[in-house]
Structure 1
């Protein structure tokens, strides 16, 4: 096992921004990428990361590109030690260009948290026949949440929204959500499975 694989901090979907001191993971080979993995597949981190071995995970501008981000959240719950922190940054659904693959809002991750007060008639907590995402043992608590306003990079808008027409446009402010979720003390349940399989 090389030195990078012994890191206790993960930078998932690092793209053009690998970080020193982190195990940098992306879907494509590039300078600074330590492991090439498809993060949109079930159990994607099993080949490189042991259970409860990681202190910090960054997923910056990643989840909005995944069709099955719930699977990755399960994997992150598996690899984080109790007290470990997951940092997520996603576009807010109220942003005028927020939609990539999925919408996100302030409550998107509530079914994965143990510190959420459940509303009696909230379909997120309903029986499985209604497509509930509820875990029998939620693995996270909310540490912090910030609503951010920022200006997008023209290359990002060009790639995902307008094509070459984006360059030179006076792009307006965007709105993003920045979450820090802390792994709680619940032990990892290896039998926890989602409905999505290979």
Structure 2
């Protein structure tokens, strides 16, 4: 009989979730695994290969300096098709750069580098493989203005204006085995908008 699959709450902090394995770099109530994600390149996560079916990472990715080793290590423990839901500030927001603990801005363009098809452009030795399935932008209705019903125009503004997006949530799926570097077309994916007052 095989072991049951895990759901992993990455960087849970004080938001441990029942029914999930809660991981953080500090001991705290509800934390099941104390582990520093910056060490993924040298120290394996204490989970077996192909043991996680779902990941949650709420405002974690922007804090990681060594992000490619981390995404590769998450890929190792993921089953094929495992879902990673990652919330983060958008690269074009003050929220991305105002926090001195943030190491990077995050964008849809950057998320594509977690999938092997992008590596027709570059090879950094990364062998994880994630497909972006969809991206949801949380946007202040007042900032969207008259473009609230004009998705193409809003997507254009997101790329050129600051502070349009309050939060970006990406849904990514593990592809196993990983595709060869640079092979396969990166799939198009839908954008969703969540307008807040």
- TM-score bracket, shorter-length normalisation: 0.5 to 0.7
Residue in structure 1 matching 2:176, options 185, 188, 197 = 185
- Classify 1:138/1:66 alpha carbon distance in 2 versus 1 (closer, same or farther; 3 Å): closer
Alignment-derived partner of residue 111 in structure 2? 109
1:155-166 maps to which residues of 2 (within 5 A)? none
- Classify 1:40/1:6 alpha carbon distance in 2 versus 1 (closer, same or farther; 3 Å): farther
Assess if the C-alpha contact under 8 Å between 2:35 and 2:45 holds in 1: no
Instruction: Determine if the alignment matches structure 1 residue 62 to structure 2 residue 60.
Output: yes
Instruction: Determine if the alignment matches structure 1 residue 90 to structure 2 residue 92.
Output: no
What RMSD in Å do the two structures reach over aligned CA positions? 2.9
How far has the Cα of 1:89 moved from its partner?
A: 1.0
The gaps in structure 2 that reach 5 residues or longer are 141-162, 181-197
What SS does structure 2 have at the residue aligned with 1:179?
A: strand
Residue in structure 1 matching 2:31, options 29, 33, 36 = 33
What SS does structure 2 have at the residue aligned with 1:98?
A: helix
What SS does structure 2 have at the residue aligned with 1:97?
A: helix
Q: Give the ranges of 4+ consecutive aligned residues of structure 1 lying more than 3 Å apart after TM superposition.
A: 124-127, 132-135
Alignment-derived partner of residue 121 in structure 2? 126
Assess if the C-alpha contact under 8 Å between 1:7 and 1:23 holds in 2: no
Alignment-derived partner of residue 175 in structure 1? 166
- Classify 1:142/1:126 alpha carbon distance in 2 versus 1 (closer, same or farther; 3 Å): closer
How far has the Cα of 1:180 moved from its partner?
A: 0.8
How far has the Cα of 1:7 moved from its partner?
A: 5.8
TM-score by length of 2: 0.67
Bigger fraction of residues in helix: 2
How far has the Cα of 1:111 moved from its partner?
A: 2.0
The gaps in structure 1 that reach 5 residues or longer are 119-123, 151-171, 190-198
How far has the Cα of 1:97 moved from its partner?
A: 2.8
Residue in structure 1 matching 2:133, options 131, 143, 149 = 143
- Classify 1:81/1:88 alpha carbon distance in 2 versus 1 (closer, same or farther; 3 Å): same
Shifted more, 8-17 versus 176-185: the winner is 176-185
